[in-house]
Structure 1
Amino acid sequence: MQHAHNNHCWLFGDSGYPLEPWLLTPFPEVQPGTQEEHFNQRHSSVRNGVERCIGVLKKRFRCLLS
């Protein structure tokens, strides 16, 4: 997912990707109640929505499965 603010763009990626200036990945091993945990929860929520959308598209357009 891409987010633009003040002519900057970021992509949301999972923890399998390295951190890049343009890629937001979750923080590893966060403490409960911290800002990092809150970020990870919001990040996960965004990614879950995107994953569900991709699933719907793949169900409708079977050619996307390969």
Structure 2
Amino acid sequence: FLAVAAARAQVQQEPSAETTEGTEITINCSHPNIKMTELIYWYRLLPGRGPELLVSGHKGSKALP
């Protein structure tokens, strides 16, 4: 998963996560300068394919569909 942020070097997250379809997964991301009005985006990148947007969320989001 990749998070897109203005100062990418400050983004704190695991470099990748794996799960099977239908299984819940928790992905976390933090950035020291993110504002409440800014979004964090998570993408899935599969071999041979372009990035696919999975979900986006605001600072402090707890659970997203």
Structure ranking higher in helix proportion: 1
- TM-score, normalised via structure 1 length: 0.20
Structure ranking higher in strand proportion: 2
Report which of the two structures shows the higher radius of gyration computed on alpha carbons. 1
- TM-score, normalised via structure 2 length: 0.21
